Amino acid sequence: MRSSHHPFPTRHAKPAGSSIQKSTLSKHESKRASDAQTIQIIAVLGCGTMGHGIAQMAAAAGFRVIMRDVEKDALVRAVQSIERNLEKGAKLGKLTEDECDMALQRLRGTVHLSETAEADLFIEAAPEVLEIKQNILREVETLAHKSFIFASNTSSLSITEIARASRHPERVVGMHFFNPVHIMRLLEIVRGKDTSAETVDAVRSVGLRMKKEPIIVKDAPGFASSRLGVALGLEAMRMLEQGVASARDIDTAMELGYNHPMGPLRLTDLVGLDVRLKIAEYLHTTLSSETFRPPEILRRMVSEGKLGKKTGEGFYKWNEEQ
Ligand SMILES: NC(=O)c1ccc[n+]([C@@H]2O[C@H](COP(=O)([O-])OP(=O)(O)OC[C@H]3O[C@@H](n4cnc5c(N)ncnc54)[C@H](O)[C@@H]3O)[C@@H](O)[C@H]2O)c1
- Residue-wise pLDDT for 99-130, tens only, equals 999 999 999 999 999 999 999 999 999 998 99
Lowest average pLDDT, out of 26-40, 192-206, 241-255, 286-300, goes to 26-40
7 pLDDT band, cuts 50/70/90, is: low
Cα–Cα distance between 155 and 227 in angstroms, integer? 9
Q: What angle do CA 246, 252, 253 make, to 5 degrees?
A: 90
Beta-ladder partners of 149: 121
For ligand 1, whether the C-beta of 159 sits within 6 Å is no
Span 233-286, pLDDT tens digits: 999 999 999 999 999 999 999 999 999 999 999 999 999 999 999 999 999 999
Stretch 145-149: mean pLDDT: 94
Q: How many A from CA of 282 to the centre of ligand 1?
A: 16
Residue 156, pLDDT score: 86
The pLDDT of residue 38: 85
Q: Among the listed ranges 36-40, 62-66, 301-305, which one has the minimum average pLDDT value?
A: 36-40
- Nearest residue CA, atom 12 of ligand 1? 125
| CA distances from residue 76 to 39, 45, 91, 96 in whole angstroms, order as listed | 26, 14, 23, 24
* Main-chain phi, psi angles of 212, to 5 degrees: -105, 160
Of 152, 120, 148, the C-alpha closest to 135 is 152
The whole-chain average pLDDT of the chain stands at 90
Q: How many CB atoms lie within 10 A of CB 160?
A: 17
Is the Cβ atom of 125 under 6 angstroms away from ligand 1?
yes
Confidence class for position 321, pLDDT limits 50, 70, 90: low
Q: Where are the alpha helices (DSSP H) in 106-244?
A: 130-143, 159-163, 197-209, 225-241
pLDDT at res. 24: 34
pLDDT digit string, tens, across residues 43-95: 999 999 999 999 999 999 999 999 999 999 999 999 999 999 999 999 999 99
Instruction: Report residue 26's pLDDT band, with 50, 70 and 90 as the boundaries.
Output: very low
Does 275 sit in the ligand 1 pocket, CB within 6 Å?
yes
Would you say 204 and 239 are in contact if contact means Cβ atoms under 8 Å apart?
no
Residue 322 is predicted with a pLDDT of 72
Closest by CA position to 68, among listed 38, 43, 88, 93: 43
At residue 6 the predicted structure's pLDDT band, cuts being 50, 70 and 90, is low
pLDDT beyond 60 at 9: no
Task: Average the pLDDT over 160-170 and give the result.
Answer: 97
In this model, does residue 8 exceed pLDDT 90? no
Region 212-225: mean pLDDT is: 95
By percentage, how much of the chain surpasses pLDDT 70?
Answer: 88
Closest atom of ligand 1 to CA, residue 272: 1
Q: How remote is the CA of residue 1 from the centroid of ligand 1, in Å? A: 28
Three-class DSSP category at 215: strand
Q: The whole model's pTM is what?
A: 0.84
Pairing of strands 172-176, 186-191: antiparallel
- DSSP codes of every residue in 12-46: -PPPTT----HHHHHHHHHHHTT-GGG--EEEEE-
